[in-house]
Amino acid sequence: MKPASNILHPVAICQVMINFAASHGVDQETCLLGTGIEPAALNDGDALIRREQEMRLIENLMLALPGVPALGLQLGLRYNMATFGIWGFVLRTSRTIREALHNGLRFLPLSTAYCRVGLLETAQSLGVTMDPSDIPRHLRQFLLERDMATAINLLRELSLSGLGEQRLLLRAERLEHAAEFARLCGIRPELGSAHNALLIARAEAERPLPTYDAHLVRMLEDQCRQQLERRTQQGLTGQVRAQLLGPLGLVAGIDEVAAALSLSARSLRRKLEAEGSSFRQLVEEERRQLAEQWLGGSQMTLDELATHLGYADTASFTRAFRRWQGMAPGEYRRRQRAAGHAASAAPPAAD
């Protein structure tokens, strides 16, 4: 199942990331930069944020901690049942782990999952698959590892008496921090697999859970449906961002995005203006954020960056970047790498 891109998330999810960042010496202001999330909202239990706001916070986290290995994995291990509110309680009160997996998928948009999640069943095993192909390329590995680590935590929390053997399958042929998976999660990943998947023995999946409550399951399911209705995001701005960060990419023009949303370009301009935004502004914001991310965390040349960001040539990209940062992209990259080397050489902060 693909997580819905128009579902709002509780701001409490951000607090997990901000606390994680703080443990590595990154302040709240850095985390919230450009997200549009007000610090006061973090204490509002009813406050909701858009998907692109959460993605911006994730990008800020990645930019601030380029030298931390397995960053997404470490973050995912911070999530637990309580993090997810009603969705987590539905899992906890299910009859078995198998039933919990089915219930989790029914209401998946209420979780933090960005991967497309499905069930994988064999003669010996049952588990979940995770496909990150719908996620913007620069965030795929981070969010795959975060979703995987979260699933590991939730499964272990469900089975209070402990799980037997677990298998972690990854499609990647190589993984620089494979040892971190084993150290942090206690499972050594099996690389070059057909799926990204977390599997447990079928017998474990059928074992009754000690927290099962039939009455609560029905009541919580009704609450999940109400939450989905409340959190559905109708704003056109979010839909445009989803197209730019997803299937169409930043090379798309307003005509292409409008067609994908079944609108005319004129209607799209008018509706965005009513929401206090514009197509050009949205493209500019995403270009800037991605440029900073790729300059700091990839080996792409400036020519390649310019092409991926939808610029006609490298000179146009360079002029835009100077306007954003007051320096050339090459200089920004050198500073980011120097900061990353300094961070990796420093002793880790106490958790």
Query: Which residue did the predictor score with more confidence, 261 or 231?
Result: 261
Q: In b/e form, how buried is each residue of 261-273, taking b as 16+ CB within 10 angstroms?
A: bebeeeebbebbe
Q: What is the pLDDT of residue 349?
A: 44
Global pTM value: 0.68
Helix (H, G, I), strand (E, B) or coil at 3: coil
Whether the pLDDT of residue 92 is over 60: the answer is yes
Lookup: tokens for 171: 């499609």
Whether the pLDDT of residue 1 is over 70: the answer is no
Q: What is the pLDDT of residue 351?
A: 39
Average pLDDT, the chain: 85
- Cα–Cα distance for residue pair 187/200, rounded to 1 Å: 12
CA-only gyration radius of the chain, Å:
21
Give, in words, the CATH class of 9-230.
alpha beta
pLDDT, tens digit (0-9, with 9 covering 90-100), for 187-234:
889 999 999 999 999 988 998 888 888 888 888 888 888 777 666 655
Lookup: tokens for 48: 């909701």
> In this predicted structure, which of 46-50, 147-151, 175-179 has the lowest mean pLDDT?
46-50
What is the average per-residue pLDDT within 282-303? Answer: 83
Task: Please indicate whether the domains covering 9-230 and 236-345 agree at the CATH topology level.
Answer: no
Helix (H, G, I), strand (E, B) or coil at 100: helix
Query: Which residue did the predictor score with more confidence, 9 or 77?
Result: 77
Please report which confidence band the pLDDT of residue 147 belongs to, taking 50, 70 and 90 as the band edges: very high
Q: Which of 285, 254, 256, 228 is nearest to 106 (CA)?
A: 228
Please state whether beta strands 125-131 and 116-121 pair in parallel, antiparallel, or not at all (unpaired).
Answer: antiparallel
Q: What is the pLDDT of residue 5?
A: 61
pLDDT, tens digit (0-9, with 9 covering 90-100), for 44-56:
766 778 888 888 9
Whether the pLDDT of residue 182 is over 60: the answer is yes
Q: Are 294 and 304 in contact (CB under 8 A)?
A: no
Q: What residues does each domain of the chain span?
A: 9-230, 236-345
Whether the pLDDT of residue 163 is over 50: the answer is yes
Please report which confidence band the pLDDT of residue 19 belongs to, taking 50, 70 and 90 as the band edges: very high
Q: What is the pLDDT of residue 61?
A: 94
Q: Identify the CATH number of the domain defined by range 236-345.
A: 1.10.10.60
Q: What is the pLDDT of residue 38?
A: 84
Q: In b/e form, how buried is each residue of 136-150, taking b as 16+ CB within 10 angstroms?
A: bebbbbbbbbbbbbb
Helix (H, G, I), strand (E, B) or coil at 311: coil
